[in-house]
Amino acid sequence: MLSKKTNLTGRQKAAVFLIAVGNEVSTEIFKHLREDEIEQITFEIARIDKITPEDKEKVLIEFNELMMAQGFITNGGIDFARGLLEKALGNQKAIDIINRLTSSLQVRPFDFVRRTDPAQLLNFIQGEHPQTIALILSYLDPNKAATILSALPHTIQADVAKRIATMDRVSPDVLREVERVLERKLSTLASEDYTSAGGIDAVVEILNNVDRGTEKTIIEALEEEDPELAEEIKKRMFVFEDIVLLDDRAIQKVMREVDNTDLAKALKSVDAEVQDKIFKNMSKRAASLLREDMDFMGPVRLKDVEDAQQKIVNIIRKLEEQGEIVVARSGEDELVV
């Protein structure tokens, strides 16, 4: 059963719409979709047990509004459509509809690359110039970009990361040229507008998804080559040692989610400040047992320590995204209650 709040994804809305219009119309619509789109929407349809009248009504209204807006745009352009929608539905509603419609019509550069298997893409681009690699990675999903960045030769990882961070805007000519080379094996895509690409936020998202060892290697190399850039990137990232920035309540919430073995491994290579922050948020008995675990396990491979730290960082990021905890970062103003 779907939520009455109707916080539906685009695929869920499509599924609700197709159920609402019936088999005959749905079959005709499927003829105009790609196979992967049909699979995704069919999966959503299969997951729906029951549609509330509220969900059905809202989805059909939204579809009708978007179709009306599309018709206005086709006949007279976006400004004409906005004017008619404002008269019919009011200013804010018109803006919302136009924004949804125009965003759905925009195709990001390298869309075909984002559907390519990371291993295949890596084989294809690793011989390219670091600037070309940086351009392509800046348009990928952070997880896929992280996988590829981690697999690149160590000698160019930091260079690629720096180029992503310092990239600003890319001309359509450059995009077309890079895409022209890629299309021989993958696909093609053109972009007529200057498009924002890369930037510090992009490289931070990628580094937040690579393994801890790769992250450290890249940050250390950037610190040598461009200390100011490295510092700005670190300010926007959360690394395991930043756990000292969490307040006690946040630490305790994190500890409830963390496996004790992972915690013992994660604390093996950190300084006393980090260890003390953890221990003081545990009962005396729990802290004593954790110390015993750390001593008992003896030497631990650095890779295992880094993996354990990354698991805990991922938990912290998840809790932050869910609004369960607040992560203070360097340079941010403190909260005053």
* Rounded distance between C-alpha atoms, residue 86 and residue 70, angstroms: 14
All structural domains of the chain with their residue ranges: 10-105, 111-236, 240-321
> What pLDDT, on the 0 to 100 scale, is given for residue 123?
80
Position 186 scores a pLDDT of: 58
User: pLDDT at position 275, please?
Assistant: 92
User: 129: which DSSP letter?
Assistant: -
CATH number of 111-236: 1.10.220.30
**Block means of pLDDT (10 residues each) for the chain, length 337 residues?**
56 83 78 74 73 82 69 57 66 66 56 71 82 86 87 90 83 73 53 50 76 79 86 78 89 92 92 92 92 89 89 87 74 40
Tell me the CATH number for domain 240-321.
Answer: 1.10.220.30
Tell me the pTM: 0.40
Instruction: Answer whether 111-236 and 240-321 agree in fold.
Output: yes
Cβ neighbours of residue 168 under 8 Å, at least 6 residues apart?
A: 196, 197, 198, 199
Residue 153: Cβ within 10 Å count: 8
| Angle, alpha carbons 308-314-319 (nearest 5°) | 130
| pLDDT score recorded for residue 219 | 83
Residue 80: CB atoms within 10 A of its CB come to: 13
